[in-house]
A and B are shown apart, each in its own frame.
Chain A
Amino acid sequence: GAVVSQHPSRVICKSGTSVKIECRSLDFQATTMFWYRQFPKQSLMLMATSNEGSKATYEQGVEKDKFLINHASLTLSTLTVTSAHPEDSSFYICSARDSGLTNEKLFFGSGTQLSVL
């Protein structure tokens, strides 16, 4: 089946630094990828839709200058958390839909646990 690879799986950083998370579709092309955030025992919250070759679209309340998204190719999207603060500590998960298929299911990466000290 389709595989989405997400790196790193865990990152610990100091407050004020920037962290980049990569999301790759390994065996399919994805014109659209999605970034979610999940706090402990809570639902996945959609942050933004990453569109290949164009600007990402952000959900209401998500700061686009804080969470920079780049989708430079059909298989790679990156999320950069800029000037991270402890409140940004969370589980970030990317997902993608196979552009070659007509169904609506999403394939998810394994997630990145971000801890900001």
Chain B
Amino acid sequence: SQKIEQNSEALNIQEGKTATLTCNYTNYSPAYLQWYRQDPGRGPVFLLLIRENEKEKRKERLKVTFDTTLKQSLFHITASQPADSATYLCALPPLSGGYNKLIFGAGTRLAVHP
């Protein structure tokens, strides 16, 4: 069955450093992968989408990589700020079909300290 794994341990980093979050998946090859940000008590907000034929995507201080051989995506925030503190979720279309659907990982909580 499909599995999406994100590090459940919170990531604590110092302001100004680069945060790197990992998303691993098993048992299939998704056409794309997405990253979302979720603040406490709020719905997720879309950040980036990367397709299977793309190795890397950037948006301002964010960078996402997609390694279909390793079945892994890395999400980087450079020059991190306390305002970047949130839970970051990766999401993929389901193995079972339903191209419009998204299945989410459990998320990794990032805390950026001044």
> Of A4, A104, A107, A113, which is within 8 A of B34 by CB?
A104
* B residues at A contact (CB < 8 Å): 32, 34, 41-46, 49, 89, 93-94, 98-107
Q: Cα distance A44–B89 when bound, in Å? A: 9
Which residues of B have CB within 8 Å of A93? 43-44
**Mostly helix, strand, loop or mixed at chain B's interface?**
loop
**Mostly helix, strand, loop or mixed at chain A's interface?**
strand
> Are B100 and A97 in contact, CB atoms less than 8 angstroms apart?
yes
> Are A104 and B49 in contact, CB atoms less than 8 angstroms apart?
yes
Which residues of A have CB within 8 Å of B99? 104
> Are B104 and A111 in contact, CB atoms less than 8 angstroms apart?
no
> Are B103 and A46 in contact, CB atoms less than 8 angstroms apart?
yes
> Are A6 and B34 in contact, CB atoms less than 8 angstroms apart?
no
A111's closest neighbor in chain B, by CB? B43
Min CB distance B86 to A, Å, is 14
Known A-B contacts A104-B32, A104-B34; A43 and B46 likewise in contact (beta carbons under 8 Å): no
> Are A43 and B105 in contact, CB atoms less than 8 angstroms apart?
yes
Which residues of B have CB within 8 Å of A105? 34, 46, 49
> Are B42 and A110 in contact, CB atoms less than 8 angstroms apart?
yes
Q: Cα distance A106–B101 when bound, in Å? A: 9
- Pairs across A and B, CB under 8 Å, 29 listed: A32-B100, A34-B101, A36-B104, A42-B106, A43-B89, A43-B105, A43-B106, A43-B107, A44-B44, A44-B89, A46-B102, A46-B103, A49-B100, A91-B41, A93-B43, A95-B44, A97-B100, A103-B49, A104-B93, A104-B100, A105-B34, A105-B49, A106-B44, A106-B46, A108-B43, A110-B42, A111-B42, A111-B43, A113-B41
